[in-house]
């Protein structure tokens, strides 16, 4: 049997043809395709928020924070269990990530823990969609309102999801998506920032192109600014036409992606139901589109080794950031540290076959029957 991959892109004729079309036009940088992708995202989400496409999800986070004009040493509340991108985007700007604990049943930021860590320097709270779920986001916004904080949502894993029946990307302060190779949809690499705040959006549009004023509109018309001003720090974080072409093709396939990812999750839940050693996270699978399927188990490392021997690739999302040298804290985060030994991510991607889901569960059953 071939290796069962943890995650992968799903590339059809559509993406290949779209890329060739851009190559044939010999305009590879940021131009018309990127504009079309931004419009298509806005239409798909049916949102009032503006959409700015950028080079990666990490760039989206970096740009979102940079647009807030924070000061060196300002503090950002962030769950410790997240991809290291969230923390790196914070420290890239000289800001201080304040690692917070997460909830045991969702791995979403524990708002009570976050509240304890607020100081006079706290400016932003960055909730992270864990395994695509943002259940509990209302409490984050309540806390933000009470303490006058901005909210930058790391919704890297949230594209196509709902929360309490409401589509992600239709409400909130500032929201960042990722379109990296294995996310719910991909543009090869890529990301997007969404906000209703016009000042933030204008700032990010310029900042993705080295701070060159109004260069985005020019490039969408196949032109460039030659006589321009720069007022703020900018970055080379724009999206290319090649990426946007992949993204547009993927967006046209999103309905089938959503159905399949939810089917896989429901399949796991049903089949794992009678294995006592397995705990499922408390998510609403009618709402989320699971980017990863995470279980909590005992003997995680032994199970992971056993699955690997059976050609099943698994993952650990994620090592708590406050345990890394760069982000080490002088306090412990007990729930996250406990969870770090329990979490295991099972294969979940569009091309995963149902027989493979059954095989994975059979092997887990075999492990615990030993
Ligand atoms: C994928 C991801 C990112 C970063 O996105 P890239 O496009 O890979 O830069 C950030 N945060 C979380 C939670 C992610 O899953």
Residue 183 is given by DSSP the state: S
* Span from the CA of 65 to the centroid of ligand 1 (angstroms): 15
Please name every residue paired with 8 in a beta bridge, in sequence order, or none if there are none: none
Phi-psi region at 311: left, alpha or beta (left = phi > 0; alpha = psi -120 to 50): left
Q: How many residues comprise the chain?
A: 370
How many CB atoms within 10 Å of residue 302? Answer: 12
Token pair for 263 = 């089917």
Question: Candidates 82, 90, 134, 157: which one to mutate for ligand 1, based on the most atoms within 8 Å of Cβ?
Answer: 157
| pLDDT < 50 regions, the chain | none
Please return the burial class of 86, using the count of CB atoms within 10 Å of its CB with bins 0-12, 13-18 and 19+.
buried
Cα–Cα distances in angstroms (integers) from residue 103 to residues 229, 280, 300, in the given order: 46, 14, 19
Q: What is the CA radius of gyration of the chain?
A: 21
| Contact criterion met (CB below 8 Å) for 64 and 95 | no
Q: Please report, to the nearest 10 degrees, the dihedral formed by the alpha carbons of residues 238, 241, 351, 155 taken in order.
A: 30
Q: Which pLDDT score is estimated for 370? A: 84
pLDDT at residue 331, as a whole number: 98
Residue whose C-alpha is closest to residue 322's, from 347, 340, 310, 306: 340
SS3 of 123, please? strand
- Closest atom of ligand 1 relative to the 317 alpha carbon: 15
CA distance 81 to 261: 23
Q: Pinpoint the alpha helices (H) of the chain.
A: 13-25, 32-45, 57-66, 84-91, 111-116, 137-147, 198-207, 215-220, 241-252, 254-272, 300-309, 334-340, 354-369
pTM comes to 0.98
Residue 363: what are its φ and ψ, rounded to 5°? -70, -40
Residues with C-beta less than 6 Å from any ligand 1 atom? 56-58, 82-83, 85-86, 128, 154, 156-157, 178, 180, 183, 191
pLDDT value of residue 2:
87
Return the closest-CA partner of residue 63 out of 169, 203, 173: 203
Span from the CA of 74 to the centroid of ligand 1 (angstroms): 22
List the domains of the chain with CATH numbers: 13-252 (3.40.640.10), 254-369 (3.90.1150.10)
Closest atom of ligand 1 to 85 CA is 10
CA triplet 52, 56, 58: central angle to 5 degrees? 100
The model's pLDDT over 298-350, given as tens digits with 9 standing for 90+, comes to 999 999 999 999 999 999 999 999 999 999 999 999 999 999 999 999 999 99
Atom of ligand 1 nearest to the CA of 179: 7
For residue 64, give the nearest of 130, 147, 126 by alpha carbon.
126
Dist CA 70 CA 80 (whole Å): 21
Contacts of 369 (CB under 8 A, 6+ apart): none
Q: Which atom of ligand 1 is nearest to the CA of 58?
A: 9
DSSP labels for 38-102?
Answer: HHHHHHHHT-SSEEEEES-HHHHHHHHHHTT---TT-EEEEESSS-HHHHHHHHTTT-EEEEE-B
Tell me if residue 300 falls in helix, strand or coil.
helix
**C-alpha distances in angstroms, 327 versus 13, 331, 336?**
43, 12, 15
- pLDDT number for residue 38: 98
User: In this predicted structure, what is the pLDDT of residue 225?
Assistant: 87
Return d(Cα 228, Cα 359) in angstroms, integer.
60
First to last CA, the chain: 22
């Amino acid at each position: 049997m071939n290796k069962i991959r943890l995650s992968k892109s799903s590339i059809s004729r559509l993406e290949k043809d779209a890329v060739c079309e851009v190559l044939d036009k010999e305009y590879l940088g940021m131009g018309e395709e990127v504009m079309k992708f931004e419009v298509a995202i806005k239409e798909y989400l049916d949102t009032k928020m503006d959409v700015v496409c950028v080079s990666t999800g990490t760039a989206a986070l970096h740009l979102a924070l940079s647009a807030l004009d924070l000061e060196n040493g300002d503090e950002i509340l962030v769950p410790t269990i997240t991809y290291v991108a969230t923390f790196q985007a914070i420290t890239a700007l000289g800001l201080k990530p304040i690692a917070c604990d997460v909830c045991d049943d969702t791995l979403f930021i524990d708002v009570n823990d976050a509240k304890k860590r607020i100081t006079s320097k706290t400016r932003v709270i960055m909730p992270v969609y864990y395994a695509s779920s943002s259940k509990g986001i209302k409490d984050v916004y309540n806390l933000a309102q009470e303490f006058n904080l901005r909210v930058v949502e790391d919704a890297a894993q949230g594209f196509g999801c709902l929360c309490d029946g409401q589509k992600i990307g239709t409400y909130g302060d500032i929201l960042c998506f990722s379109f990296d190779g294995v996310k719910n949809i991909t543009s090869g690499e890529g990301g997007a920032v969404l906000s209703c705040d016009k000042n933030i959006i204008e700032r990010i549009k310029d900042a993705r192109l080295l701070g060159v004023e109004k260069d985005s509109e020019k490039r969408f018309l196949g032109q460039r600014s030659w006589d321009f001003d720069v007022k703020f720090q900018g970055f080379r974080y724009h999206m290319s036409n090649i990426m946007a072409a992949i993204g547009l093709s993927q967006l046209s396939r999103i309905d089938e992606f959503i159905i399949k990812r939810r089917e896989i999750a429901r399949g796991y839940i049903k089949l794992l139901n009678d294995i006592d050693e397995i705990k499922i996270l408390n998510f609403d699978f009618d709402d989320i589109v699971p980017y990863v399927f995470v279980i909590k188990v005992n003997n995680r490392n032994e199970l992971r080794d056993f699955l690997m021997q059976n050609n099943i690739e698994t993952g650990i999302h994620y090592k708590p950031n406050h345990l890394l040298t760069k982000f080490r804290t002088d306090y412990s985060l007990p729930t996250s540290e406990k969870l770090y030994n329990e979490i295991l991510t099972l294969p979940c991607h569009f091309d995963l076959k149902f027989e493979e889901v059954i095989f994975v569960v059979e092997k887990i059953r075999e492990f615990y029957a030993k």
